[in-house]
A and B are shown apart, each in its own frame.
Chain A
Amino acid sequence: MITLEDVAKEYTHTRVALSHVNLQVKRGEFVFLIGPSGSGKTTLLKLVYMEEKPTHGEVWVNGIQSNSAKRSEISQLRRKLGIVFQEFRLLEDRTAEQNVAFALEVTGAPKNTIPARVARVMNQVGLASKATQLPRQLSGGEQQRVAIARALVNEPYFILADEPTGNLDERATKGVFQLLKDINAGGTSVIMATHDLEMVRSTDFRTVELNHGRIVFDSAEKAPPETRYTPLIGQPAIGGPNEGNWPPPPPQK
């Protein structure tokens, strides 16, 4: 369970990344985080995997409270959170399977169990045949699958994906999204920050929209938290603070 209670994150007095954020994500949920660039999606995810601490309020993840968590507790927590980034963050000098195995090695997993566990997730992400290739020998979609395999190998409760399809073409995007849906169907919660509204609209997963650091829409709530703002999902945005510039227009062909 992930709980954010009246959370604010300020980097300076003039730069407020999040304010008055209340959010609860249960085990097994798939949650989209949407909103324009700078709306606070990445900051919210950073608060969940405790790379940042809130300036105000409390963040609870699996019973660990971020303001009082020790560094060792954060390490233990991250073993049960699979984190995926837009830019993959793979080690370039290691093969796909070595990148995945690395996540097990650093957590002190028994050495003899590592090859089988790595093979299983490489198979799950559909990259068993490319396990011995270096990241530069793989396509963007394949690299992201390796990153997802690395996130999966410790059997996490949650996958936190920060715009995982942001660097991928349409086909690779569909593949990665399908993979995340399959992972979620297996019982793992997924929180996915994305700009891809088409992808969001194609499912009925819970959607949380951020704008200027506030949650302006949560499909799990009966009514939008701010009545003045009309969310992106559902009705077209009228009178919203970013009306006219969000979502961005499709690229000219």
Chain B
Amino acid sequence: MLALREALNASRRAPLLSGLGVLTIGFSLFAFGLFALVAVNIRQALRSVEERVEVRAFVADGTPPEAIAAAMSDIGSFPEVAHVDFVSQEGALARARKDLGEFSDVFEEATLPASIDIHLRPDLRGPDNVKSVAERVKSYQFVDDVRYGEEWVEKLYRLRGIAQAAGLGLGLAFAAVAIIVIAATIRVSVLAREKEISIMRLVGATDGFVRAPFLIDGFIKGVIGGLLALLLTWIAYRLIDTRLLRLVFFDSRLIFAGILAGALIGVAGSATSVWRHLRRI
């Protein structure tokens, strides 16, 4: 409890320095938060496109419904498959009219083939899985053709790979910048209390005792900085969401992770700064 008291006293004695520390942590994490917001939304956009990945097997005219039902049950049991829909000729026509509204009159007299639409599980929509399912479905005698947009699926997954790699690289860079800025801020507060630390050591305080108030201080500043960053990111999200384009915000798990990251950076920054300082005295 003495360590907590010392940590709070330190903030009380140097409110400007503490305030600047919290602001620095807050803005550093805000920069990271904005990046994370962009990353989350790109991921969300890609996921919604990925959800449209499906294998469509066109069924020959006159295929008995029992054969189609048996095949659907069979295909539905494939490990990659989430669910299977049957689209009749009429259904296919209605869908085409809906998708291509202004050209709907083109389909007036047309007859489109019935199909079995196969939707894959979210984690099994990779090009290899799609191809494998398509080949197995093609083996049914009544299946005339199977389409799954081979080239399109491959491009989508390449794009996802690039987005992931770029996201990871940029994320690490942003996190590194945040950590460096925060560590420097905490170092200033450690140096401001240099005399106090040296007196503590002279009267026989252990390293752990000297360190504890700084770790608590770093934790508190990290949490407050994290909350500030969250607030700023939310304001940015609201501004973009209401004026420019629809966005998704972080879910509760990511919000918790963000605040925890702030606290951890605060504690780690303090621990490093005090450790470096103690090593010299």
State the Cβ distance, B6 to closest chain A Cβ, in Å: 9
Instruction: Answer yes or no: A158 CB below 8 A from chain B CBs.
Output: no
Which of A103-111, A210-218, A236-244 lies at the interface with chain B? A103-111
Q: Which of A51, A72, A78, A93 contacts B203 (CB 8 A)?
A: A78
State the Cβ distance, A184 to closest chain B Cβ, in Å: 20
Interface residues of B in 120-144 (CB under 8 A from A): none
By the criterion CB–CB under 8 Å, are B205 and A51 in contact? no
Contact surface of B with A, Cβ cutoff 8 Å: 2, 13, 195-196, 198-207, 209, 281
How many A-B pairs with Cβ below 8 Å? 48
User: Would you give 23 A-B contacts (Cβ < 8 Å), ordered by A?
Assistant: A49-B202, A71-B206, A75-B201, A75-B205, A75-B207, A76-B204, A77-B204, A78-B201, A78-B203, A83-B203, A89-B195, A89-B199, A93-B13, A102-B203, A105-B2, A106-B200, A106-B203, A106-B205, A107-B204, A108-B209, A150-B203, A154-B203, A154-B204
CA distance A76 to B204 in the complex (A): 6
CA distance A216 to B137 in the complex (A): 101
By the criterion CB–CB under 8 Å, are A89 and B203 in contact? no
Residues of A within 8 A of B200 (CB): 102, 106
Instruction: Answer yes or no: A91 CB below 8 A from chain B CBs.
Output: yes
Instruction: Answer yes or no: A195 CB below 8 A from chain B CBs.
Output: no
By the criterion CB–CB under 8 Å, are A72 and B204 in contact? no
Residues of B within 8 A of A93 (CB): 13
CA distance A154 to B205 in the complex (A): 12
State the Cβ distance, B191 to closest chain A Cβ, in Å: 16
* Residue in B closest to A71 when the chains form the complex, CB atoms: B207
Residues of B within 8 A of A154 (CB): 203-204
Residues of B within 8 A of A51 (CB): 281
The interface on chain A, measured as residues whose beta carbon lies within 8 A of the other chain's beta carbons, has a size of 22
By the criterion CB–CB under 8 Å, are B205 and A107 in contact? yes
Instruction: Answer yes or no: A41 CB below 8 A from chain B CBs.
Output: no
* Residue in B closest to A156 when the chains form the complex, CB atoms: B204
By the criterion CB–CB under 8 Å, are A91 and B196 in contact? yes
Instruction: Answer yes or no: A79 CB below 8 A from chain B CBs.
Output: yes
By the criterion CB–CB under 8 Å, are B196 and A78 in contact? no
Q: A79 with B203: in contact, given A51-B281, A93-B13, A105-B2 (CB under 8 Å)?
A: yes
State the Cβ distance, B65 to closest chain A Cβ, in Å: 82
Residues of A within 8 A of B2 (CB): 105
CA distance A181 to B198 in the complex (A): 27
* Residue in A closest to B207 when the chains form the complex, CB atoms: A71
By the criterion CB–CB under 8 Å, are A107 and B203 in contact? yes
Residues of A within 8 A of B195 (CB): 89, 91
State the Cβ distance, A226 to closest chain B Cβ, in Å: 33
By the criterion CB–CB under 8 Å, are A106 and B13 in contact? no
Q: A79 with B204: in contact, given A105-B2, A106-B209 (CB under 8 Å)?
A: yes
By the criterion CB–CB under 8 Å, are A75 and B199 in contact? no
Interface residues of A in 164-222 (CB under 8 A from B): none
* Residue in B closest to A104 when the chains form the complex, CB atoms: B203
Residues of B within 8 A of A89 (CB): 195, 198-199, 202
* Residue in B closest to A90 when the chains form the complex, CB atoms: B199
By the criterion CB–CB under 8 Å, are A72 and B206 in contact? yes
Interface residues of A in 79-121 (CB under 8 A from B): 79-80, 83, 89, 91, 93, 102-103, 105-108
